[in-house]
Amino acid sequence: MSIQIIQAKLDSYNCKSHNEEEHAVREITQEIILASLGRTDFFKHSVFQGGTCLRIFHGLERFSEDIDFLLKEPDNKFQLEPYLNLISNELAAYGYNIEISKRSDEDKTVKKAFLKDDSLIRILHLNHLTVKGRIKKIKIKLEIDTNPPSEGGSEMKYIDFPFVSSVVIQDKSTLFAGKVHALLCREYLKGRDWYDFIWYTSQGIEINYRFLSSALDQQGPWKNQAISVDLNWCRTEIEKKIISIDWNSAANDVHRFVRANQFPSLELWSRELFLSQLLKLK
C-alpha cells in the first residue's frame, strides 16, 4: 500500500524526461522526510528554509536538491543523529533502504548528512529514470545551521503527503533575506539564486533587513562590520553583482532544475532583465 501511494504521487507529476522524473522522486522523498520530522520535536527547535521550502510550500517552479534548516536559537551541541534514525525508519516503511553518511565535525556550525537510496526506484514504475540501463540513486543533502542569524521570522505550515504533519518554515521576507545574502556572499555563481530572485521580486515580497544584516555580519565580505542594510544599500550591491555576471552561465545552471517549457524564459536572461527586476525590490 505504501509503495502505491508513492507511485500515485509520482504519476501525478506527469514527467516528460528522465531529469523531471529524477527530481520528482527526490521531491517525494523530501516530503516524506519533512512529514516524518513533523512527528517529532524537531520543529520546536528548528525552522525549514531555502529553495526546497519555497518549492514545496510556495509553488516555486524549479526543483531543488537539498533540505535546509536552521535552529531557532544557537546551540552548537545540537545533534542530527536521533532524527536521522527516525527518518531512516520512516522511509523504510515506504520501501526505501536509506544509506546515511555524515560530513560534519562536532565543532562545525553547519551539521550535514547525506541520504542515498536505490531501492525504492527499483520497485517503482519509471518511464524515464535510467541512464544507459543503470538506475540512478536518490541523493539528498540534509543541512542545519546551529548558529543562525537573529531576527528571523517563521510560520506554521502543514503538509498532507504522505500524511498530515506540521512544519515550521521561515516567512517569505526572511526567506528573501536569506536569498539576498546568498546572492551577495556566495563564492561561486549559482543561477538558481537568480531564478529565485525573479520569483521574489515578481511577488512583491519585502526583505527582512534585520535578518539580512545579522547574516551579513556572520559570513561574507561584510563579516563583523555590523552594517545596517536597507533598500538603497541592497539595490546598490545587487546591481554590482548583476553587472558582473555571465548570464549565459547562470541560465545554464538552471536548465536541469526546471521543466522544458521554461527554457525560452531562460534565453531572456541578461543584465537588462535583472536590472529591470531590481527596480521591483522593496
- Extents of the domains making up the chain: 1-170, 171-282
Under DSSP, is residue 115 helix (H, G, I), strand (E, B) or coil? strand
Which of 150, 165, 175 lies closest to 32, judged by CA? 165
- The per-residue pLDDT for 135 is 59
- The per-residue pLDDT for 137 is 80
Mean pLDDT of 204-223: 97
Q: At what angle do helices 18-38 and 50-58 cross, to 10 degrees?
A: 90
Cα gap 11→225, rounded to integer Å:
51
- The per-residue pLDDT for 134 is 56
- The per-residue pLDDT for 101 is 86
Cα gap 161→239, rounded to integer Å:
40
Q: Indicate the CATH number of 1-170 among 3.30.465.10, 3.40.50.720, 3.10.450.620, 3.20.20.140.
A: 3.10.450.620
Where does the pLDDT of residue 120 fall: very low under 50, low under 70, confident under 90, or very high at 90 and above? Answer: confident
Question: Using a CB cutoff of 8 Å and minimum separation of 24, what contacts does 239-243 make?
Answer: 239/275, 239/278, 241/183, 241/184, 242/271, 242/274, 242/275, 242/278, 243/271
pLDDT digits (tens, 9 = 90+) for 122-172: 778 887 766 555 557 889 999 999 999 999 999 999 999 999 999 999 999
**pTM exceeds 0.85:** yes
Mean pLDDT of 216-239: 96
